[in-house]
Structure 1
Amino acid sequence: MGSGISNFSAPPTRHNTWTLAAYKNMARKRLGRKPDIDLKSIADKSWDIAPGESTVSPAAFYLPGQLERVTGWEGKRFYPYVHPAQTMEGGVCIEQGATRGYLIKDAWLVDGALYKGNASHWLSRKPSTFPRISVDHEIERGAVYCTQNGNSWFGTWLMEDCVTYALACDEGVPVTTAPSARFPLFTQAPAYEDWLDMRPLRLHSAFFRELVLFDDHCNNRSRHARYRAMGQKLLAHVDAAPHPGVFILRGGDGDLRLLRNEIAVAEHLAKTRGFRIIDPLRADVPSIVAACAGAQVVIGVEGSQLVHGVNVLQPGGCVLTLQPPNRFVSYYKYLTDRDHQHFGFVVGLPEGDGFRIDVAEVERTLDLMPL
């Protein structure tokens, strides 16, 4: 990752104008007129920033009978959108697309959405009922690195949007949406931005004479290199001496994935294997990174909180996810495949509105992994 300073560092100018772009978009949808098209499809220019490639996924580490417990899975948001059984068994050939840039001239940003003519591109998931018409700034050349998913989930923001920030610095003034009552800034974002030398321009509204957007969702070598550079920046702030592992607690935060015996599993691994335990909801970023740095294994309930450890996990390290049976997610497997790490999982058994993990199965799965 670069210095965090944009090559296009000219400050925005006050614009003091107005636009009905958001209301025209709403009217077209309600009246059923010309369909909305994506802003990237009308780009004045598009280009490959980094090439794509083909990869073959290795098998995960897991005990017999685990996949038979899966009753539901999340795949629609996570490329390559295949059932977890295919991913975990290995041998899936994945076409990792190129990293691409798109230049659009004369575009508007209004309350989390970008507009030009009949085209739009949404950076937030919930459009405003009454979008603003006043526009505060004019940007000569901006580069938007934030995404819908990144504005919705902390883990995606840190694992994906922050990685694309490096591209934005090379293409324009790095721009992200400004926080609001509906989309507040993640609590730990400022500290991470400080350690990652990120200094974005946060805007509610703007007019862009030139705007750059990105396709940066595929795990090609460029994305791998930028992610590893980001991890090295974090490690530069702490002692990264090797240790057995870290259990990152999830608790009841975020989408409910309630591991009934989470504390018992964590304390067992601390006693038997010397794992550290960290609760990211009760610790600051320096403490979290210090606890995770040097870990040979990152373990916990599958979810955004694991990103704290995955960010600084070194090649050859292991990620072990504890999966609720009704919401299996393969996302971290894609990252470990990309970053030359190992992935394992244990699927729990339902219990009330949560699930329970057999600690003996955790131990046996860890024994399978190359520790």
Structure 2
Amino acid sequence: MESDLSPISTSTAGNQKKWTLAAYKNMARKRLARKADINLKSIALKSWDIAPGETTHSPSAFFLPGQMDRVTGWEAKRFYPFEHPARTMQGLGDVEQGPTRGYLLKDVWMIDGALYKDNASLWLSLKPSMFPRITVDTEIDRAAVYCTQNGNTWFGTWLMEDCPTYSLACDEGVPVTTAPSARFPLFTQAPAYEDWFGMKPVRLHSAFFRELVLFDDLSNNRNRHLRYRAMGEKLLSHVKHEAHPGVFILRGGDGDLRFLRNELEVAEHLRKSRGFRVLDPLKTDVPTIVATCAGARTVVGVEGSQLVHGVNVLQPGGSLLALQPPNRFVSYYKFLTDRDRQNFGFVVGTPEGDGFKIDIQEVERTLDLFPS
């Protein structure tokens, strides 16, 4: 995944800096002229298929009767599909996966985590700065941006979506991502994962790109599957491992609150009854995380980004059991396990105080549904 391209020039002399009002023009157009942004990819000079689309199969998830009746809310703002999860969990059958695509543009500005060209833009962070800079002192002949707004916001999305796109970026130019800031700091465990993946991105707040390549890389086609599995194999190459029953990955109070009130009780039960390992990724370094998860036949935990540590190295035929809050059901991992030929199951909790509770016997019975 390492890039050997380096056509980057950086200058600090005042008369060599490039000046632009691109960010302010964009703000003025939206506030004064009330014109919506034009998608940057729509004005590309060239677009092409990097990998073809295909038809894949989505089987039913593994779950007990009555589970869907407990769902009172689902994450419909940021995660497809934007509907009640019942249809997805019952199995979508044949699904058309789109191609992986590339887009070439010329003379593009990056200003404080956003890309601009003419009247088009693309946000790589959730919100632009209130007073964006007007000068840049970095110029790149040909770059490829692999990061996304969601990946810059959530650790799990960064690891599952942005990191697989990095290898595409290396094939097209200097692999570029946004630089961390006080508002959007670098994820604590990102440097260690990047080191084991062999990733050496260029991190920038602002720059001018003579040529820039962007990607559509959200389709779960075979090409994306192979890139993700290659990442997992790189992680496994760093640790000694053998098959074991499973790992329970604690969520605790990190990230968006999904407070499983009896999380430790469920984890300890699975440790005693099934020989599961229990992992707290917030208190553990990446080498220990990978070594603990490697070889697990089943990954269990509250639905959330922390599960990605186990999914990274989960093998085909392995299983993922997500413990879902009744008021925030997320289907995201189902699409990944379908793609990677793994089993997905879930248990929906019941509300209790400021969180939810999971029935341990329902966890046991759902685990028994998975193929042995």
Contact residue 51 and residue 97 of structure 1 kept, 8 A:
yes
Post-superposition offset of 1:18: 1.5
The aligned counterpart of 1:220 is: 221
Give the % identical residues: 77
The residue that corresponds to 1:10 in the other structure is 7
Determine the structure 1 residue equivalent to 2:120.
Answer: 119
How far apart are 1:96 and its partner, in Å?
1.0
Task: Tell whether the 8 Å contact from 1:8 to 1:171 is kept in structure 2 after alignment.
Answer: no
Report matched runs for 1:89-168 at 5 Å. Answer: 89-168=90-169
Amino acid at match of 1:161: D
Q: For residues 251-266 of structure 1, what are the structure 2 equivalents within 5 Å?
A: 251-266=252-267
The CA deviation string for residues 29-61 of structure 1, in whole angstroms up to 9 with x for no partner, is 111254320110000110000011122310111
The AA in structure 2 aligned to 1:281 is L
Distance 1:91 1:73 in 2: 18
Report what 1:203 is aligned to.
204
Query: Once structures 1 and 2 are overlaid, which stretch shifts more, 186-195 or 90-99?
Result: 90-99
Aligned residues: 368
Task: Indicate the residue corresponding to 1:370 in structure 2.
Answer: 371
The verdict on how the C-alpha distance between 1:21 and 1:153 changes in structure 2, with shifts beyond 3 A counting, is: same
Q: CA deviation at 1:199?
A: 0.2
Tell me the amino acid that sits aligned with residue 101 of structure 1. Answer: G
State the alpha-carbon separation in 2 of the partners of residues 316 and 28 from structure 1: 52
CA RMSD of aligned residues (A): 1.1
Q: CA deviation at 1:88?
A: 0.8
1:122 maps to amino acid: W
Residue type of the alignment partner of 1:339: D
Does the alignment pair 1:237 with 2:238? Answer: yes
When structure 1 is superposed on structure 2, of 90-99 and 251-260 the one drifting more is: 90-99
Instruction: Give the secondary structure class of the aligned counterpart of 2:282.
Output: coil
Q: Which amino acid aligns with 1:6?
A: S
Paired residues of 1:9 and 1:173 also in contact (CA < 8 A) = yes
User: Quick one: which amino acid aligns to residue 135 of structure 2?
Assistant: S
Structure-to-structure mapping, 1:42-61, within 5 angstroms:
42-61=43-62
Residue 95 of structure 1 deviates from its aligned partner by 1.9
Give me the whole-angstrom Cα distance separating, in 2, the residues matched to 1:254 and 1:9.
36
Note the residue ranges of structure 1 that are not aligned, 5 or more in a row.
none
Instruction: Determine the C-alpha separation between the residues in 2 that align with 1:33 and 1:78.
Output: 28
Counterparts of 1:145 and 1:338 in 2: how far apart (Å)?
Answer: 21
In structure 1, what is the Cα distance between the partners aligned to 2:77 and 2:336? 17
Q: Which amino acid in 2 is paired with 1:151?
A: N
Aligned residue identity for 1:226 = R
Structure 1 stretch displaced more, 55-64 or 255-264: 55-64
**Letter matched to residue 311 of structure 2:** V
Structure 2 counterpart of 1:119, one-letter code: A
CA distance in structure 2 between the partners assigned to 1:188 and 1:5 by the alignment: 19
- 2:8 partner SS: coil
2:191 alignment partner in structure 1: 190
Alignment-derived partner of residue 280 in structure 1: 281
Q: Is the 8 A contact 1:7 1:170 kept in 2?
A: no
Q: Report whether the alignment pairs 1:313 with 2:314.
A: yes
Task: Could you tell me which runs of 5 or more consecutive residues in structure 2 were left unpaired when the two chains were aligned.
Answer: none
Can you list the C-alpha shifts for 1:47-89, whole angstroms capped at 9, x where unaligned?
0000111223101110000000000011342344443111111
**Does the aligned pair in 1 maintain the 2:324–2:330 contact within 8 Å?**
yes
In 1, are the aligned partners of 2:302 and 2:323 still within 8 Å (CA)? Answer: yes
The 2-side partners of 1:367 and 1:243 are apart by 16
Distance 1:331 1:44 in 2: 33
Q: CA shift at 1:13, angstroms?
A: 3.5
Q: Which residue type is aligned with residue 188 of structure 1?
A: Q
